[in-house]
Structure 1
Amino acid sequence: MTDHPNQFPKLHNAAWPGVVGKGGDGNEPPIDLDTMLDLTAAAEVDGRKFDGVDLFLFDPHVSIDATDQELESLAEQVRSRDLVIGTVVAPVWPPTDGGAAGGDSDEVDAYLKQVRKGCTIAQKLRQMGVRPTGVVRIDSATSVEDWSKAPEECQSKIADTMKAACDIAEEYDERLAAEGEICWGGMHSWKMMVDLLRRVGHPERLGFQADMAHTLLYLVGHNAPDDAILPVDFDWSDNEQKKAALKKLTHSLREWTIDFHVAQNDATVHGTGSHDKTGRHCLPNDPNGKLNIAEDAGFWLRDEHGDVLKTCRHICWDGCMFPNEQMMKPETWNSILASMLAVQDAHGWNE
């Protein structure tokens, strides 16, 4: 009997750590997609490997304006390494030709244009047979500062924009997932995230993407102190209180969760390059990590009764803004794959 008997949820690696926080003056250069795919395909633990990758529709990896020929080439790049594609990230924010969902009409038009392009690519990859699961990831593309100038008006605008995005997604039979990051206005606390999802009110088209690193910061109220579940001076060695806080958080957001990122976090914020300060992604064995990855994933992947949910047919490791030197080491990806397998062992299933 194998040490890892479950085959679901499938295990994906994110390719975007090769570009997020990279490039530009004073930053490390991007790591090309072929290299990220090679690193993913080479990882192996106990005879198990990654099943697929999630992609950022952003140059130099995958252009949001990719032609059909370029997408066919992308599909072959992935297939040749015995991988598939899952979730794709639409670059809805400025300066990637997108706009703020809570902005003026021109910004909203730019935002929705990027959503449409993202859904077009997602559908085509599905039709090519290389994308069996996954969603199109979006966010509000609105800064917390701008949101704070007129919270109610901005929240309403973001909801209206996302309703229009849902109409677009329906045209392509795609689902959208809004990622809960504290750097995005209207989504920077767990209460506001729930409020936004309810205002949009289209769970068949818009759900929540839970990233373990980002949602941990919801607990301590970075950017939204009034919504903190844990005190500012919380002692992270108190595992029982942390679990109680995670239970409260996931009780509100789990019903919306349709995409899941496994990650580690040290409960601080971090940002490099053009990426706003957000949850610091750590290596799974980082001594400062505050998450018990396999155990804490269960708050999202099991229901209130402890039964395994089968909502997310694949899960993805997200580890943005690691140094290039660290990402080029095979042992980095083996340790990450081992953590992913631990989550699958604890909360997975077979079909």
Structure 2
Amino acid sequence: MQNNNYPKLHNASWPGVVGKGPDSEPPIDLDTMLDLTSKAEVNGQKFDGIDLFLADPHVSIDSSDDDLKRLADKFSSYNLEIGSFVAPVWAGTGGGSAMGSSEDRQNFVTQVRKACAIGKKLREMGIRPNGVVRIDSSVDPESWAKDEVGNTKLIAQTFREACDVAADYGESLAAEGEICWGGMHGWKSMLNTLEAVDRPNIGFQADMAHTLLYLLGYNKEDERILPQDFDWKDRATLTEGLKTLTASLRPWTIDFHVAQNDGTVFGSGDHDKTGRHCQATDPNGKLDIAIDAGHWLRDENGILTKKFKHICWDGCMFPNDVMMESKTWNDVLGAMIKVRELHGWYEAE
């Protein structure tokens, strides 16, 4: 019997950037992230690729063709492929709020266009066999809540325009389910936003650390699934909660992050508080990573969805000293391999 070789196992580059900066720790450069990723190995298995953050100091959203050729050559030298992108849609990186002014929303769409153009070029170079472009609403829940209906309509309109642009490049957009983004900070709100976009190339990006907090109603108490007095030792209730959540959002899921969470929120640098990404072996982690990933990777009948060709680990806002340890990435890779063993498949290559 062949070992599963799909989904491909990716690390993420953005833990080297997100949550870093003047108010936190210095960023970790892309070369270092590539080196750490390529050196990880568990029982002869290695990472297959990395998902990218399209912003300085990693990869400029305004990269030239020559820049991209050098990037592709660099990844090839590490025997790693490129997967999904994070598009820098926020005001501080050239974008703007998806429910903001006409200029804000146009800047948002422009950043998506640039990301999709990069994606197409890297696909043509053969270094990016699969992946999507990740977006969010680029606005906080409090601002969204001032006019929930109107602001959701604006976000959906911006996302529609972004989807139409992405379609020109053969790309799909994945809206990130994270409690710090307005209109996306609760599971029902996220579903409403996705349905309002009404485009075939919009989908959901599920991150196990973030979506766990949907169950607790962080920032959206009226959408809480688990009881107020929930005991984390009550595994049966947690499982039922995950089934409720994934039944609604799994059909939309086109990008998936494996992660661990201790049930709390955390933010560093200029990143708002969101689901705390714990190390794969953290004893306080509330998820059974391999088992709980199955709620997203299999349908209600236990059949693999195979809706995406790779999965990615997200260790956002890990301290730099943790990220520089080889054990961290071997533990991560080991957790990813277990997910693939339980919920993967084999394809001849």
With structure 1 as the length reference, what TM-score do the two structures score? 0.98
For 1:66 and 1:307, locate their aligned partners in 2 and report how far apart those are by CA, in whole Å: 41
After TM superposition, the runs of 4+ consecutive aligned structure 1 residues lying more than 3 A away are none
Aligned counterpart for 1:240 among listed residues 236, 241, 244? 236
| 2:35 matches 1:52 | no
3-state secondary structure, aligned to 1:236:
coil
How far apart, CA to CA, are the structure 2 residues paired with 1:43 and 1:345?
Answer: 18
Equivalent residue for 2:329?
333
Q: Distance in 2 between matches of 1:22 and 1:232?
A: 33
Q: Counterpart in 1 of 2:107?
A: 110
Q: CA offset at residue 145 of structure 1?
A: 1.3
C-alpha distance in 1, partners of 2:201/2:79?
29
Q: Please point out which of 215, 220, 230 is paired with 2:226.
A: 230
Secondary structure, aligned partner of 2:275: strand
Please state how far the C-alpha of 1:201 moved relative to its aligned partner. 1.4
What's the Cα RMSD here? Answer: 0.9
**Could you tell me which residue of structure 2 aligns to residue 345 of structure 1?**
341
**TM-score, normalized by length of structure 2?**
0.98
Once structures 1 and 2 are overlaid, which stretch shifts more, 183-192 or 303-312? 303-312
* Residue 9 of structure 2: aligned partner: 11
Matches within 5 A, 1:36-51: 36-51=33-48
In structure 1, what is the equivalent of residue 151 of structure 2? 154
Q: Describe the SS at the equivalent of 2:93.
A: coil
Displacement of 1:308 after TM fit?
1.3
Cα-to-partner distance string for 1:326-347 (whole Å, 9 max, x where unaligned): 1110000000000000000000
User: Where do residues 177-192 of structure 1 align in structure 2 (5 Å cutoff)?
Assistant: 177-192=174-189
Give % identity: 61
| 2:245 is the counterpart of 1:249 | yes
Amino acid at match of 1:47: G
Correspondent of 1:296 among 283, 286, 292: 292
Q: How does 1:1-351 map to 2 (within 5 A)?
A: 5-24=3-22, 26-202=23-199, 204-351=200-347
C-alpha separation in 2, matches of 1:309 and 1:345: 15
Residue 23 of structure 1: how far off its partner (Å): 1.5
Give structure 1 stretches of 5+ with no counterpart: none
Structure 2 Cα separation of the partners of residues 128 and 233 of structure 1? 53
**Cα distance, 1:253 vs structure 2:** 0.4
Shift of 1:142: 1.4
Distance 1:231 1:185 in 2: 23
2-side partners of 1:94 and 1:278: how far apart? 19
* Structure 2 counterpart of 1:348, one-letter code: G
Distance in 1 between residues matched to 2:107 and 2:272, nearest whole Å = 20
Distance 1:191 1:108 in 2: 23
With 26-35 and 244-253 compared, the bigger mean Cα shift is at: 26-35
Q: Which runs of 5+ in 2 are unaligned?
A: none
Secondary structure of the residue aligned to 2:295 is helix
Q: 1:232: Cα distance to partner?
A: 2.6
- The letter of the residue matching 2:73 is E
AA of the residue aligned to 2:141: V
User: What displacement does 1:233 show?
Assistant: 2.4
Letter in 2 for 1:115: V
Take 1:222 and 1:104, find their aligned partners in 2: how far apart are those partners? 28
CA distance in 2 between partners of 1:112 and 1:82 (Å): 33
The one-letter amino acid of 1:131's match is: R
Letter in 1 for 2:151: C
